Amino acid sequence: MTTTTTADGTTTIEALAEVPLIRLTREFAGTPAQLYRAHTDADLFARWTGPDGTEIKIDHWDARTGGSWRYVNVSGGQEHGFHGCFHTVREDRIVQTFTWEGMPDGVALETLLIEDLGNGRTRLVTESLVDSFETRDAILASGMEVGVNDGYARLDTMLAGGDV
Amino acid sequence: MPDPLSQVFAALADPTRRDMVARLCAGDATVGELAAPYDVSLQAVSKHLKVLEGAGLVTRGRDAQRRPVHLEAEVFDLMTKWIERYRREAEARYQRLDAVLADLNDDTTHLTDLTDLTDLTQQSQRGETA
């Protein structure tokens, strides 16, 4: 299944049917070297990665092939840890693992492709591959707090009522 | 039982079932009509329909003879909304990255001013000269 929309921005999303993968594609007004820095420089990365209103505390950060990383996301007194390894760190390609410590056995393989579009523009493709379609769909449904629960509740009601 | 969202995704993970859903967007159809474009048995099509029904994506009419298959667009919309929500969060994250990149651009004043470049491109596309 593939869904691509551009309602309020330029990010497109695809959820592939063949493999449990989420692909995000976005163009930026910046050079490939700048995109690379924004993903490998710990201070820069901490400035943009977390949701609004959260603070990112970098625990350790060794952005080179074979290195590893860990940071903690602090929001409203709650802390969420994330860690992983840098498998490949190259100007045009970063491959790393990603684990949310709330689900310590879960691990995603993330591939970032940094494509030069010329004129100081760059396309970023982020692929996140997980171990099952169930996990992928849970990730798609995550971070939606009230929204997803409302959605489930509505669907449950529809299913229970024989509406569907 | 898997959660509803996973069921919907699993049901749509199959290309034949996606085709059937696309066909049903145009209107209700009988099992025979759905099977016509494919080189498969009615039984195989019925199996696919059972999966779509299980996910709540389609229902069968009560007409005993034809039992037309009906697409439940509302369930489809729910799934699309979930994905759209995820996409919007990614877009918000990337807008923060935009801001960081803009700061980097300010730090390196020798870079071409992207705004001017965009304006020039638009002007030349309209056949104007600067």
Chain B residues with CB under 8 Å of A15 CB are 9, 83
Distance CA B61, CA B67 (A): 5
Assign 3-class secondary structure to A107-147. CEEEEEEEEEEECCEEEEEEEEECCCHHHHHHHHHCCCHHH
Instruction: List the 103-122 stretch of B: residues with Cβ below 8 A of A.
Output: 104-105, 111-112, 114, 117
What is the reported pLDDT for B42?
Answer: 86
**Closest residue in A to B10 (Cα–Cα):** A133
Residue that is last in its domain, among B71, B86, B117: B71
What is the reported pLDDT for A110?
Answer: 96
The CATH number of the domain holding residue B28 is 1.10.10.10
For residue B42, is it within any domain? Answer: yes
What is the reported pLDDT for A142?
Answer: 60
For residue B130, is it within any domain? Answer: no
Name the DSSP class of A91. T
Same domain, B79 and B98: yes
Q: What is the ipTM of this complex?
A: 0.74
What is the reported pLDDT for A141?
Answer: 66
Q: Which stretches in chain A have pLDDT values below 70? A: 1-9, 17, 141-164
Cβ neighbors of A43 (< 8 A, separation 6 or more) are: A58
For chain B, the domain total comes to 2
For residue B44, is it within any domain? Answer: yes
Instruction: List the 12-31 stretch of B: residues with Cβ below 8 A of A.
Output: 12-15, 18
Distance CA A142, CA A130 (A): 14
Domain span at residue B89?
75-125
For residue B82, is it within any domain? Answer: yes
Chain B residues with CB under 8 Å of A51 CB are 89, 92-93
Which domains, from first to last, does chain A contain?
A: 12-131 (3.30.530.20), 134-164 (no CATH)
Quick: pLDDT tens for B101-121. 999 887 654 444 444 444 445
What is the reported pLDDT for B122?
Answer: 52
Same domain, B63 and B9: yes
Say if CB A133 and CB B74 are below 8 A apart.
Answer: no
The minimal CB distance from A29 to the residues B80, B84, B101 is found for B101
For residue B50, is it within any domain? Answer: yes
Same domain, B82 and B61: no
What is the reported pLDDT for A81?
Answer: 93
What is the reported pLDDT for B3?
Answer: 65
Q: Which stretches in chain B have pLDDT values below 70? A: 1-4, 64, 107-130
Instruction: Go through chain B and tell me how many residues it has.
Output: 130
The minimal CB distance from A164 to the residues B14, B72, B98 is found for B72
